[in-house]
Amino acid sequence: MERRVAACLHADVSGYCRLISTDVESTVRTLSAYRTVMIRAIADHDGRVVDAAGDSLLAEFASVPSAVQCAVLIQRELEALNAALPAGRRVQFRVGIDLGPVLVDGERIYGDCVNIAARMQEAALPGSICLAGSAYDQVDGALPLRFEYLGERTVKNIERPQRVYRVE
């Protein structure tokens, strides 16, 4: 097994259970189409999809700027696609990003970075992106984006509080 530092991106659909219970076929078609957009964007930003189960997706990148640029592109493209759908049928992802050490076991990765990225995703609003402090420290001033500091938060199953930033 290998150890390395990675930027982890975790994405999950907001309101997935409601969407599935209302119209499973339409939701799955939309989710599949959107996942194709996401996978292409991840590859274009030198990332790698680690896992895609149900309505979630985990990807890793060599750098936080690549992960953030990819996430912004994904949210913009999905927003444009969602504009053509009725409000109640829109599939909106929440995205979380963290930077940290991971343990690589075959195609899978493990570590706090993966878990904190998932917790940042939970802090994000539908259609938005949140970064943990370690990721924010890598992009502050490096990208032409603005960030809103949401404060320090205690997140589920993570011992230390996390600084949370939302991409504006």
pLDDT score at 100: 96
pTM of the model: 0.95
CATH number belonging to domain 2-167: 3.30.70.1230
Domains of the chain, residue spans: 2-167
Distance CA 75, CA 62 (A): 20
What residues pair up with 152 in beta bridges, in sequence order? 163
128-142: per-residue pLDDT in tens? Answer: 999 999 999 999 788
Confidence of residue 149 (pLDDT cuts 50, 70, 90): very high
pLDDT score at 83: 96
pLDDT score at 45: 97
Mean pLDDT of the chain: 94
